[in-house]
Structure 1
């Protein structure tokens, strides 16, 4: 999520330790950990929703294409049947 390396994390920890003191440091670390976890869950849920929506759009496009292909095949079959009927009529005469 964030591109924080070891040294950046260590610097943040030292500054937090100096500002709040060693007594409150564990409680603050737990609180920050909870919020980071919630943020990660939120981002993962949003990504999953977006992926699901993209998949839905792709499926709709695919179905639309299949419907067009089915219509084309139906017209082709009708034309083929008409040509065969004409061919039979010509052969009879």
Structure 2
């Protein structure tokens, strides 16, 4: 998360020991650990919520795409029905022309 190495952590511990003193150091370390845990849990929760929101958006896009595809499919079937009617009328015209000969 913060990319602390051993030497950085050791330097912070020595400075904290000098500033706070040896009597209060265990309580401070415990409190720092608790806050670090809470911070990690908070960031994990936020990350999961953001991922869930992205998944919701992806699902909405998929539903929208599906609706558009069904609309296009319906339009194509209507066009197919019209082409059948045109073909039937064309056949009638051809048959009537054959009958006139």
TM-score normalised by L of structure 1: 0.88
Distance in 2, Cα, partners of 1:88 & 1:35? 80
Aligned pair count?
93
Distance in 2, Cα, partners of 1:2 & 1:63? 40
After TM superposition, give the deviation of residue 19 of structure 1 in Å. Answer: 1.6
After TM superposition, give the deviation of residue 25 of structure 1 in Å. Answer: 1.1
| Higher Cα radius of gyration | 2
Q: Which has the higher contact order (CA 8 A, sep 6+)?
A: 1
Distance in 1, Cα, partners of 2:81 & 2:10? 79
Distance in 1, Cα, partners of 2:5 & 2:81? 71
Structure 1 unaligned residues grouped into runs of 5+: none
After superposing on structure 2, the runs of 4+ consecutive aligned residues of structure 1 that deviate more than 6 Å are none
Structure 2 unaligned residues grouped into runs of 5+: 96-101
Q: CA RMSD in A?
A: 1.4
Distance in 2, Cα, partners of 1:60 & 1:80? 30
Partner of 1:81: 81
